[in-house]
Each structure stands twice: as structure tokens, then as C-alpha cells.
């Protein structure tokens, strides 16, 4: 039986709940709803667990804030004895059009502070990630306000469908591996 650690990145608190930067939390929540699992407060975040076709799956929403996510990732990889190849980080990506998803086996931080902290704490960038496109509909110098801003009415229209597609990709990742998931969803 394989074990998986799926970590949705975001910022804790009501202030950030519906922001673009918290899409990792939204996707994690949708995954837990699909598998009828509830979070329990735990060290460094809220943790849920369930099985997908016999595979043990742990879903974490860190409470360490986006820029300090690496501490929680490192802690749960060690605590649950999960191979780094079975780690999937779920986060927003400015470099992709709104609603598009991209699975990657490894990569740079790409300007994402959550990924940068994970890379720093794990001492590697060789971990899988699901990138959710939030687009670049902002003026120069307004990137922070954009990612920490709430979804527009137009974006909200298709958001749930894109979140469900992301959940499908994650299930595929757990069942068939990153290569098959990339082939099916990128």
C-alpha cells in the first residue's frame, strides 16, 4: 500500500478564505468532501485522511501561512514516513491562465513563496505539484493585491468546475502516478 501526502497551500483565517492564493485550500477541501473525510486540528495545520483504492492518503492544510509552508511539509513527510515521490503540493500559479491546471514532477519556485520555503526546508525542488492557474489580470506592481484578492464574479462562474477537475487530477495522481496524471490532465 502506498501512502500519499497532499498539501494544499494557503493562508489560515477568514480574511484569506476566498482569495486566489488560497486555491490550494479550496481544492483540498473539495477532495475531502469527495471522500467524505473531515479535518482534525493537528500540529502545523488541519489534517484529514482517507483511502483511494487502498492507498492511504493524508491531506494537510498548513496553518503556518503560505511563506512558511515548508516546516509543515517536512514534518508530515517524516511523521507519516512518506516517500517524497508521493508528495503533491497544490497551489496557485500566476504563470498559467485562469482555470488551467498543470501537474509537474519537479520545478523551481517560479516566484511562489510557498514553494520557495518548501524547497528551502526539503533541500530539493524534486517534488510533485499541481499548479492551478489564476492568470495575470493585474497591473504592474499589483501582484500581491491580486493573489490576495478575491475571485471576480466572472471567475466564480467556472471555479467549481476547475476545482473538480483538479480533484480528478489528484485522484489520478494517487491511482496511476504522476506520469499518467500529467498525460491525462496537462
The residues assigned a catalytic role are 21
DSSP 152: P
- Cβ(73)–Cβ(93) below 8 Å: no
Q: Provide the 10 A C-beta neighbour count for residue 120.
A: 13
- Cβ(184)–Cβ(171) below 8 Å: no
- Cβ(36)–Cβ(175) below 8 Å: no
56 grid coordinates: 492511504
Amino acid at each position: 500500500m502506498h501512502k500519499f501526502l497532499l498539501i494544499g497551500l494557503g493562508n489560515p483565517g477568514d480574511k484569506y478564505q476566498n482569495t486566489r492564493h488560497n486555491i490550494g485550500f479550496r481544492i483540498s477541501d473539495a477532495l475531502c468532501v469527495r471522500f467524505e473525510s473531515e479535518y482534525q486540528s493537528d500540529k502545523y495545520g488541519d489534517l484529514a485522511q482517507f483511502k483511494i483504492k487502498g492507498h492511504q492518503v493524508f491531506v494537510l492544510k498548513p496553518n503556518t501561512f503560505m511563506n512558511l509552508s515548508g516546516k509543515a511539509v517536512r514534518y508530515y513527510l517524516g511523521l507519516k514516513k512518506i516517500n517524497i515521490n508521493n508528495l503533491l503540493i497544490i497551489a496557485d500559479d500566476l504563470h498559467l491562465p485562469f482555470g488551467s491546471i498543470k501537474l509537474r514532477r519537479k520545478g523551481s519556485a517560479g516566484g511562489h513563496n510557498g514553494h520557495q520555503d518548501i524547497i528551502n526546508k526539503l533541500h530539493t525542488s524534486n517534488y510533485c505539484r499541481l499548479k492551478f492557474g489564476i492568470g495575470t489580470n493585474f497591473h504592474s506592481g499589483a501582484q500581491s493585491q491580486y493573489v490576495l484578492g478575491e475571485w471576480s464574479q466572472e471567475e466564480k462562474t467556472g471555479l467549481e468546475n476547475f476545482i473538480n477537475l483538479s480533484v480528478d487530477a489528484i485522484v489520478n495522481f494517487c491511482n496511476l502516478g504522476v506520469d499518467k496524471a500529467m498525460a491525462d490532465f496537462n
